[in-house]
Amino acid sequence: MPALEAAALFFDVDGTLLEIKPEPDAVFCDDDLRALLARLLMRCQGAVALVSGRRLDDVDRIFSPLKLTTVGLHGAEMRDVGGAERRADPRNMDHARQAVRGFVAAHDGLMLEDKGATLAVHYRRRPELGAMTLAFLLRFGPGDDLAVQEGKFVVELKPARYDKGAAIAALMGSPPFKDRRPVFFGDDLTDETGFAVVNGLGGLSVRIGDPEARTQARFVLSDCASLRAMLWRRLREALP
Ligand SMILES: [Mg+2]
């Protein structure tokens, strides 16, 4: 990993900074993580961003009172360093919304999470419905300007033009990220575009989880706790 003084750090949230919980609303940032992020922000001169599939408002709730540079909804939402926010129009999803609602209602155990500009169908309670859910959502596609994003026990319909990789590339275009070496930490399929982009920029891609999983990430850490321990170590090591 590059020296923190020369690095731009990008973090996925669920499964990377915070353990995944069965109920997404039960996830919150503890004091240790808040302190860690605050220290990293100082050492990287502000070049730290969260890159999540959650809505911006949801990320802010979790990390309150910290308001970091944040990518939400896999890139469909973004708050830049200056605090300016961009959000995709939820109406782009209107033509799909009714059909997805109907599909979820017809299959016991599926759960629809309507995030406005994206629609996530969770099948954690009925893993055997995963393939069918994916097939259903794949009916929507480039013709609708929509794309399907798979995740852990979730399939999500999102605007086609946004992904985490493009969002990271956009942030890397201006200070304080510009001219630093990007490092992206993620754990899921939605993070693969981010891994590819930081690889292309000569940065570092780190996947949290199973070392046997197929991924474009060049490095692996076993779990969220190892990531935090590594970052605290880096913060301490470089002290004069
Ligand atoms: Mg994740």
How far does the centroid of ligand 1 lie from the alpha carbon of residue 19, in Å?
Answer: 9
* More confident: 220 or 24: 220
Pair 13, 122 in one domain: no
pLDDT at position 132: 97
What pLDDT is stored for residue 240 in this prediction?
54
Task: Find the 14 Cα to ligand 1 centroid distance in Å.
Answer: 4
Pairwise CA distance, residues 160 & 118, whole Å: 10
Output the CA 187–ligand 1 centroid distance in Å: 5
Same domain, 178 and 192: yes
Confidence bin at 23 (pLDDT 50/70/90): confident
Task: Quote the ligand 1 centre to 16 CA distance (angstroms).
Answer: 6
- Label the pairing between strands 119-122 and 146-151: unpaired
Helical spans, DSSP H, in 64-108 = 94-105
pLDDT digits (tens, 9 = 90+) for 71-101: 999 999 999 999 999 999 999 899 899 999 9
Q: Do 180 and 80 fall into the same domain?
A: yes
Q: Give me the CATH number covering residue 109.
A: 3.30.70.1020
Residue 238, pLDDT > 70, answer: no
Q: Does 52 lie in the same domain as 168?
A: yes
How many domains, in total, are found in the chain? 2
Give the tens place of pLDDT for each residue, 158-186.
Answer: 999 999 999 999 999 999 999 999 999 99
Distance 240 CA to ligand 1 centre (A): 34
Judged against a pLDDT cut of 60, whether residue 1 lies above it is answered with: yes
Q: What's the token pair of residue 161?
A: 């033009």
In this structure, the answer to whether residues 114 and 176 fall within a common structural domain is no
pLDDT tens track for 103-135: 999 999 999 999 999 999 999 999 999 999 999
DSSP-based helix, strand, coil % in the chain, nearest 5:
40, 25, 40
Q: Residue 111: in which H helix or E strand, if any?
A: strand 111-114
Has 12 been annotated as catalytic?
A: yes
Do 102 and 204 share a structural domain?
A: no
**Residue from 12, 58, 60, 187 carrying the catalytic annotation:** 12
Is the pLDDT confidence value at 146 over 80? yes
Query: Within this chain, do residues 120 and 31 fall inside the same structural domain, yes or no?
Result: no
Range of the domain at 72: 4-88+162-237
- Whether residue 184 contacts residue 206, with contact meaning beta carbons closer than 8 Å, is answered with yes
- Give this prediction's pTM: 0.94
Task: Check whether residue 72 and residue 135 sit in a common domain.
Answer: no
Distance in Å, CA 15 to ligand 1 centroid: 4
pLDDT at 144 (0 to 100): 80
Strands 119-122 and 111-114: antiparallel
Which of 139, 159, 179 represents a domain boundary (last residue)?
159
